[in-house]
Amino acid sequence: MKNKAANRILDLQYFGEFGGVNPSISDSSTYTFLSAKTMFDTFEGNTEGCYLYSRHSSPSNLYLGEALAALEGTEAANVYASGMGAITSVLLQLCASEDHIVSSRTIYGGTYAFFKNFISKFNVDCSFVDITDIEKVRASIRPNTKMIYCEAVSNPLLEVADLKALAALAKEHQIPLVVDNTFSPLTIAPTTLGADVVIHSLTKFINGSSDCVAGAVCASTDFCLALKDVNNGAGMLLGSTLDSLRAASILKNLRTLHIRIKKHSENALYLAENFEKDGLRVVYPGLTSHSGHAIMKDQYVSEYGYGGIMTIDVGDLSKANALMELMQKNNLGYLAVSLGFYKTLFSAPGSSTSSEISEEEQRAMGLTDGLIRFSIGLDNDIKRTYESMKACMISLGILK
Ligand SMILES: *Cc1c(COP(=O)(O)O)cnc(C)c1O
């Protein structure tokens, strides 16, 4: 599959106030009006191109939103102060008391906690399902179901959702398919496969420099405007607003996303193939041994590869911890959560990013103690990295 997302982003041309090559940053929380009538109309949502207050929108946030809409091929996009700010806004926009959602059971820990523990306060119920089993998804839909939610490539188990099948099912029931595409920007284009709403944690690959937290919702103009509505918009009223200075810096980083993703993928594939050959239990969507490999091949935009995330199961938590500490000592990466950095990042999700999920549930979904999640960096000489990582594994008895 081919996709023109990178071209669409690169074709967006913005000039700064003084002819700068980057758009000017809007350094204001509030905006003046020449006439009082225009201010009233803006509150009513009637004046295009007028700014009111920066929690509603700001020029810098609109530039970034436009670029993210270009990334996902949607009519519009809103930006938020975090990925969770985007996710919580979407859920609370789509659901009211007594509603129900169907969600993949292997999702980001924070999203899982929100769906499992928090939304019950509002009488919203969530069924967690194995998203790769379309019949189970179908069976869990109820008359009051308001969305199907999944990650295109899931955290941390790297399950690949069959977005075409899920979109067809959602359409049948006239509910939106909402896809968190944080692990696979450019690699997977959910809307071309039928998704209605695409969410990103910009904190990860899209920003790529691990220096801020931000999020986005890419969707129809109607939905994005509804989220911003001054009377009823969850985005507007929950207040998860991205600062303009940050929006401007994220937009600059987005400009190089296509190059970074190719390198992350190339490096991850090299390590995954070699460590699998060495006999380790490697999970990576680019490996033919991966249960979602065929779907990935059917859905992905091939020039970007299979993404930068892989997992290795080294047997138990103490071995995983020892290996991560040694790799960090040898400067092969950092023992840190998050992903999409120039440097390789690794963590054991069972005891960190997915610790919101109970041990019993972790076992049921195949999340083992010895699992290490790697976000592979932009290393220039990945063969050298491989040999150094292998030396760490040999010294700890993980490899012979
Ligand atoms: C990190 C992450 C989130 C949450 O994003 P924040 O920017 O940390 O709020 C959501 N989904 C996925 C898949 C993530 O990796």
Domain-ending residue, one of 232, 254, 276? 254
Distance from residue 81's CA to the centre of ligand 1 (Å): 11
Q: Is 84 in the pocket of ligand 1 (CB under 6 A)?
A: yes
pLDDT at 335: 97
Phi, psi of 127 (to 5 degrees): -100, 120
Q: Do 106 and 203 reside in the same domain of the chain?
A: yes
Residue 246 sits in the same domain as residue 285: no
Structure confidence at residue 101 (pLDDT): 98
**Statement to judge: residues 309 and 223 lie in one domain:** no
Specify the pLDDT at position 122: 96
| Distance of alpha carbon 345 from alpha carbon 323, whole angstroms | 13
The amino acid present at 376, given as its one-letter code, is I
Tell me: do 389 and 301 sit in the same domain. yes
CB-based contact 340:346 (threshold 8 Å):
no
Say what the pLDDT of residue 47 is: 61
Last residue of a domain, one of 213, 232, 254: 254
Q: What is the pTM of this model?
A: 0.96
Say whether both 250 and 262 belong to one domain.
no
Where is the domain boundary, 254, 284, 303? 254
Q: What is the mean pLDDT of residues 238-254?
A: 97
Higher-pLDDT residue of 2 and 369 is 369
What is the DSSP-derived secondary structure letter of residue 118?
A: I
Over residues 305-356, the pLDDT tens digits come to 999 999 999 999 999 999 999 999 999 999 999 999 999 999 998 777 777 7
Q: For ligand 1, what atom is nearest to the CA of residue 202?
A: 7
Same domain, 152 and 267: no
Q: 181 CB under 6 A from ligand 1?
A: no
d(CA 208, CA 308): 12
8 A C-beta contact, residue 45 and residue 190: no
Residues 237 and 291 grouped into a single domain: no
Paired with 216 in beta bridges are: 79, 200
3-state helix, strand, coil in the chain (%, to 5): 40, 15, 45
For residue 86, being part of any structural domain is answered with yes
Same domain, 40 and 96: yes
* 196 & 157 share domain: yes
Q: Please indicate, yes or no, whether residues 249 and 378 belong to a single structural domain of this protein.
A: no
In this predicted structure, the answer to whether residue 261 has a pLDDT above a threshold of 80 is yes
- From residue 202, how far is each of 16, 183, 323 by CA, in Å? 23, 10, 29
Whether 370 is in the pocket of ligand 1, judged by its Cβ within 6 Å, is: no
* CATH code of the domain in which 242 resides: 3.40.640.10
d(CA 41, CA 101): 36
Is residue 215 domain-shared with residue 267, that is, in the same domain?
no
Write out the H or E segment, with its range, that includes residue 169.
Answer: helix 163-172
What is the number of residues in the chain?
400
State whether 104 and 10 are in the same domain: yes
To the nearest whole number, what is the mean pLDDT of the chain?
Answer: 95
Ligand 1 center–CA 364 separation, angstroms:
23
Structural domain boundaries enclosing 326: 258-395
400 assigned to some structural domain: no
Report whether pLDDT(181) > 90. Answer: yes
Residue 352 lies in a domain: yes
Give, for 266, the enclosing helix (H) or strand (E): helix 257-277
Q: What is the CATH number of the domain that holds 310?
A: 3.90.1150.10
Residue 108 Cβ contacting ligand 1 at under 6 Å: yes
Task: Give percent above pLDDT 70 in the chain.
Answer: 99
- Is 82 inside any structural domain? yes
Give the count of domains, the chain: 2
